[in-house]
């Protein structure tokens, strides 16, 4: 019996590449196969899907992406300007999603910390056990996570044994080069932190040229009892690129996971962070700072999933929109029926600098426990005339006054950066965004 | 120094006039007090003179050292030496007092063709001005007005004025909300700043400020105009008799409500 199936739009329509090719590493091959099936199965999102209502996906659907190997990608060249001084010997470099051993350096890490590529460790029980175990993208039919699953052959794997503190921040530097054709890249990160371990991760995405490409990273973080992770994510992709990411953290008892996402680049940025509280008494942060202008789109659909009692969670999502850029925020906070004593804070503050800019914000709280404290708020505002006038009356030009106020708005988000050189580079990025005079050093 | 002639102003885009023909002349070395009931236009006058974009001058002119400044932006007026101490100073979290003041000071110096101070020189200069208002060092490192008490904000305005050294300062209700000690401290600071080369305009509801700062002239503003001017004894009359006796005068002057 044959069933007539209406041909549907899937992401495969916009891609070239052989998705039947699977890794020789079993743990990866299984995911490759599953991903390929899902890619062909899941419909490509449209504006009729609630989770994609406001997000213009034409920068993908009007393009055609090839695998990096077929793209005629330029060589990477010297990227030392992007190295972090604190992580000179704790750095993994991926060029267009592929590991570059020459540019990487890991001498500063404790011997028992496993930091290398997933493929290199592919046969280990750890990889078998954890890889792909937390993405959980089937239920919302995330076609981009499926693409990552289908295509990745390698990625970063970081395993921190129990009671180990990794002093140096681990810099995961994803760079993307110019290319003759638009390509897709699938960076993959797996982090496992054992009991009482402590790690700082800086996940960086940098476009080296201004070409269009599709970057679909997936990151999985598993934190066992009392593991602590500080996770800074800096998205500085090319302004013509699309970056669609799914970072997931899965937390056991007393774990602490603090993530700070900075969105500066990409024509289209879609971020679906998820934190799942798997045991009692955890503490986590899902903060973000979004600075967009031109025709950039930045869309965050987050889920803070409180499944057990006693958690502190914090989400400060700050956005500055200029020109005709568009920010979308949908912050879901779930509190399960018996997850009492949750203290959850969510705030989305938007600063709209132009008439043509757009902001959509939607806090979404689904709380089934009765003894919880969940606060949320969303504001959209402009710079107030009184603030500008105050600074102007002190002799600052109108332009400078506005820049200073935008700068001040962003500082709260940057203040949490633990790694000094990240802190500094973000201040520089903010200055670049606000176009300020270099002479002016703002932080006294 | 300042010559205000038949100044009419309204909120940008609205017909209702708030200033209805203000005339005022201020020479250097003078201290003026402008008093008047709520809504008489005192604060508006100070904002219009400093160039708040919310207001539109519909008639008349403001001459500062002979130059018509009506069309200048607020920062350009500050470069010429005008200063406004705000009734409600604005909080700017994230930017320290020191940062703002260095930027202000050097911008003004640059525009006047004077020498800018490097960070170390400026630090020394800043500290030398702290005594004027008895402020602690730590104020310099705090975000502008953020988390300040009402009194601290007002002190901070006087401190900014001490640092920027304006030729003419409008002080909009700098005394309101201050307790007696703070009032003494703020008045003390203003008295130290006042000198033969500058001029100060105090806008106030209350005569009590004038116990600490002796004005050369007192003006009463009502219904968008200055209806009476005199010396400091006028303030005492107002304290005793209120504003009612002047109300008739305003009408007699031909102003319809």
Distances (CA, A) of A352 to A290, B54, B139: 12, 20, 31
Would you say A188 and A148 are in contact if contact means Cβ atoms under 8 Å apart?
yes
Residue B38 has pLDDT above 90, yes or no: no
Which among A294-308, A403-417, A429-443, B221-235 has the top mean pLDDT? A294-308
Distance of CA A366 to the CA centre of its chain: 24
* Integer Cα distance of B90 and A350 in angstroms: 20
Would you say A93 and A100 are in contact if contact means Cβ atoms under 8 Å apart?
yes
For the ranges A22-36, A113-127, B37-51, B219-233, the lowest mean pLDDT is seen at: A113-127
Report the pLDDT averaged over residues A111-134.
89
**Which of B53, B54, B103 should one mutate to test binding to chain A, selecting the residue with the greatest count of A CBs within 10 A?**
B103
Tell me the pLDDT band of B250, cut-offs 50, 70 and 90: low
Tell me the pLDDT band of A438, cut-offs 50, 70 and 90: very low
The predicted-structure confidence for A363-385, as pLDDT tens digits, reads as follows 999 999 999 999 999 999 998 88
Would you call B103 and A409 a contact, using CB atoms and an 8 Å cutoff?
no
Distance of CA B220 to the CA centre of its chain: 16
Report the pLDDT value the prediction gives residue A333, as an integer from 0 to 100.
Answer: 97
Would you call A404 and B95 a contact, using CB atoms and an 8 Å cutoff?
yes
Report the pLDDT value the prediction gives residue B257, as an integer from 0 to 100.
Answer: 38
* Integer Cα distance of A250 and A219 in angstroms: 11
Which among A9-18, A253-262, B177-186, B203-212 has the top mean pLDDT? A253-262
Report chain A residues whose CB lies below 8 A from the CB of B90: 384, 386-387, 390
Report the pLDDT value the prediction gives residue A392, as an integer from 0 to 100.
Answer: 96
The predicted-structure confidence for A272-292, as pLDDT tens digits, reads as follows 999 999 999 999 999 999 999
Report the pLDDT value the prediction gives residue A337, as an integer from 0 to 100.
Answer: 93
Would you say A151 and A238 are in contact if contact means Cβ atoms under 8 Å apart?
no
Which of A389, A404, A409 has its CB closest to that of B53? A389
Residues in Cβ contact with A402 at an 8 Å cutoff, skipping those fewer than 6 apart:
A353, A383, A388, A434
The mean pLDDT of chain B is 91
Q: A361: closest CA among A423, A315, A311, A419?
A: A315
- B64: tokens are 């500062």
**Which of B94, B101, B122 should one mutate to test binding to chain A, selecting the residue with the greatest count of A CBs within 10 A?**
B94
Share of chain A above pLDDT 70, in %: 96
Would you call B89 and A391 a contact, using CB atoms and an 8 Å cutoff?
no
Which among A86-95, B145-154, B228-237 has the top mean pLDDT? A86-95
Residue A17 has pLDDT above 90, yes or no: no
Would you say A68 and A151 are in contact if contact means Cβ atoms under 8 Å apart?
no
The B-side interface with A (CB below 8 A) comprises 50-54, 73-75, 77-79, 83-84, 86, 89-90, 92-105, 107-108, 111, 119, 140-141, 143, 160, 164
For residue B115, the 8-state DSSP code is P
Residue B83 has pLDDT above 90, yes or no: yes
Residue A441 has pLDDT above 50, yes or no: no
Q: A226: closest CA among A285, A165, A305?
A: A165
Would you call B164 and A394 a contact, using CB atoms and an 8 Å cutoff?
yes
For residue A166, the 8-state DSSP code is -
Would you call A386 and B79 a contact, using CB atoms and an 8 Å cutoff?
no
Higher pLDDT, A63 or A271: A271
Which of A390, A395, A408 has its CB closest to that of B93? A408
Report the pLDDT value the prediction gives residue A69, as an integer from 0 to 100.
Answer: 93
Report the pLDDT averaged over residues A312-334.
96
Would you call B160 and A405 a contact, using CB atoms and an 8 Å cutoff?
no
Report the pLDDT value the prediction gives residue A7, as an integer from 0 to 100.
Answer: 64
Residues in Cβ contact with B256 at an 8 Å cutoff, skipping those fewer than 6 apart:
none
Distances (CA, A) of A403 to A52, A413, B111: 32, 17, 20
Would you call B93 and A411 a contact, using CB atoms and an 8 Å cutoff?
yes
Which of B53, B74, B95 has its CB closest to that of A442? B95
The predicted-structure confidence for A176-185, as pLDDT tens digits, reads as follows 999 999 999 9
Residue A436 has pLDDT above 60, yes or no: no
* Integer Cα distance of B34 and B195 in angstroms: 19
Residue A2 has pLDDT above 70, yes or no: no
What is B77-91 written as a DSSP string?
A: HHHHTEEEE-SSPPP
Which of B53, B89, B107 has its CB closest to that of A396? B107
Would you call B74 and A407 a contact, using CB atoms and an 8 Å cutoff?
no
Which of B99, B104, B160 has its CB closest to that of A444? B99
Please give the angle made by the CA atoms of A429, A434 and A435, to the nearest 5 degrees.
90
**Which of B75, B114, B140, B153 should one mutate to test binding to chain A, selecting the residue with the greatest count of A CBs within 10 A?**
B75
**Rg of chain A in Å (alpha carbons):** 21
The mean pLDDT of chain A is 93
Report the pLDDT value the prediction gives residue B241, as an integer from 0 to 100.
Answer: 84
User: Which residue from B minimizes the CA distance to A410?
Assistant: B94
Report the pLDDT value the prediction gives residue A369, as an integer from 0 to 100.
Answer: 94
Report the pLDDT value the prediction gives residue B2, as an integer from 0 to 100.
Answer: 96
Report the pLDDT averaged over residues B44-49.
96
Report the pLDDT averaged over residues A299-316.
97
For the ranges A233-237, A357-361, B175-179, the lowest mean pLDDT is seen at: B175-179
Backbone angles phi, psi at B127, to 5 degrees: -65, -35
Report chain A residues whose CB lies below 8 A from the CB of B86: 390, 393
| Residue B78 distance to chain A (closest CA, Å) | 5
Share of chain A above pLDDT 90, in %: 80
Q: Which SS3 state, helix, strand or coil, does residue B251 take?
A: helix
For residue A105, the 8-state DSSP code is B
Tell me the pLDDT band of B177, cut-offs 50, 70 and 90: confident
Would you call A395 and B96 a contact, using CB atoms and an 8 Å cutoff?
no
Distances (CA, A) of B19 to A4, A242, A386, B1: 79, 55, 20, 21
Residue A189 has pLDDT above 70, yes or no: yes
């Amino acid at each position: 019996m044959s069933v007539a199936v209406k041909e549907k739009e899937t992401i495969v329509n916009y891609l070239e590449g052989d998705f039947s090719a699977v890794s020789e590493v079993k743990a990866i091959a299984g995911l490759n196969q599953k991903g390929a099936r899902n890619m062909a199965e899941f419909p490509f999102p449209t504006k009729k899907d609630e989770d994609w209502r406001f997000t213009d996906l034409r920068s993908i659907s009007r393009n055609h992406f090839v695998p990096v190997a077929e793209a005629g990608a330029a060589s990477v060249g010297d990227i030392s300007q992007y190295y972090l001084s604190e992580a000179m010997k704790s750095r993994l470099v991926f060029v267009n999603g592929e590991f570059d051993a020459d540019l990487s350096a890991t001498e500063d890490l404790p011997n028992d910390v496993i930091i290398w590529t997933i493929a290199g460790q592919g046969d280990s029980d750890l990889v078998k056990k954890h890889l792909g175990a937390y993405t959980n993208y089937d239920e919302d039919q995330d076609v981009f996570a499926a693409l990552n699953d289908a295509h990745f052959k390698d990625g970063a794997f970081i395993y921190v044994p129990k009671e180990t503190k990794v002093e140096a921040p681990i810099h995961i530097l994803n760079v993307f080069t110019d290319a003759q054709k638009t390509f897709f890249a699938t960076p993959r990160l797996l982090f496992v932190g054992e009991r009482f371990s402590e790690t700082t991760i800086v996940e960086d995405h940098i476009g080296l040229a201004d070409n269009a490409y599709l970057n679909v990273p997936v990151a999985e973080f598993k934190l066992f009892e009392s593991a602590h992770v500080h996770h800074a994510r800096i998205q500085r992709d090319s302004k013509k690129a699309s970056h669609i990411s799914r970072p997931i953290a899965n937390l056991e008892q007393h774990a602490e996971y603090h993530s700070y996402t900075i969105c500066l680049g990409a024509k289209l940025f879609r971020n679906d962070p998820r934190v799942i509280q798997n045991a009692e008494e955890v503490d986590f942060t899902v903060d973000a700072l979004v600075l967009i202008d031109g025709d950039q789109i930045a869309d965050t659909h987050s889920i803070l999933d409180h499944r057990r009692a006693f958690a502190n969670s914090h989400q400060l999502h700050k956005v500055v929109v200029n020109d005709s850029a568009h920010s979308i925020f949908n912050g879901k906070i779930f509190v399960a029926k018996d997850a009492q004593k949750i203290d959850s804070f969510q705030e989305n503050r938007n600063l709209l600098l132009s008439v043509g800019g757009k902001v959509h914000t939607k806090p979404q709280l689904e709380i089934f426990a009765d003894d919880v404290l969940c606060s949320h708020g969303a504001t959209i505002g402009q710079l107030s005339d009184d603030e500008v006038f105050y600074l102007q009356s002190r002799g600052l030009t109108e332009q400078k006054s506005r820049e200073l106020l935008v700068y001040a708005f962003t500082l709260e988000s940057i203040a949490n950066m633990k790694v000094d050189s990240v802190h500094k580079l973000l201040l520089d990025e903010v200055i670049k965004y606000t176009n300020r005079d270099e002479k002016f050093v703002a932080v006294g | 120094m300042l010559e205000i002639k038949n100044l009419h102003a309204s909120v940008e885009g609205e017909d209702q006039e708030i200033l209805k023909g203000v005339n005022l002349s201020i020479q250097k070395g003078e201290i003026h007090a402008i008093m008047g009931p709520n809504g008489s236009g005192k604060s508006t006058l100070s904002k219009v003179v400093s160039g708040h974009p919310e207001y539109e001058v519909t008639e008349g002119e403001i001459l500062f050292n002979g130059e018509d400044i009506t069309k200048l932006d607020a920062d350009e007026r500050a470069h010429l030496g005008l200063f406004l101490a705000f009734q409600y100073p604005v909080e700017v979290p994230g930017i320290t007092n020191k940062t703002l003041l260095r930027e202000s000071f050097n911008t003004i110096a640059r525009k006047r063709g004077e020498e800018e101070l490097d960070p170390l020189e400026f630090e020394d200069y800043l500290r030398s001005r702290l005594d004027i208002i008895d402020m602690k060092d730590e104020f310099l490192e705090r975000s502008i007005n953020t988390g300040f008490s009402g009194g601290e904000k007002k002190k901070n305005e006087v401190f900014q004025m001490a640092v920027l050294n304006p030729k003419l300062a409008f002080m909009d209700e700098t005394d309101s909300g201050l307790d007696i000690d703070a009032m003494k401290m703020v008045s003390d600071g203003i008295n130290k700043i006042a000198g033969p080369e500058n001029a100060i305009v105090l806008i106030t509801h209350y005569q009590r400020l004038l116990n600490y700062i002796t004005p050369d002239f007192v003006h009463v503003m009502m219904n968008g105009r200055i209806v009476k001017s005199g010396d400091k004894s006028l303030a005492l009359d107002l304290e005793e008799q209120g504003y009612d006796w002047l109300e008739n005068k305003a009408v007699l002057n031909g102003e319809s409500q």
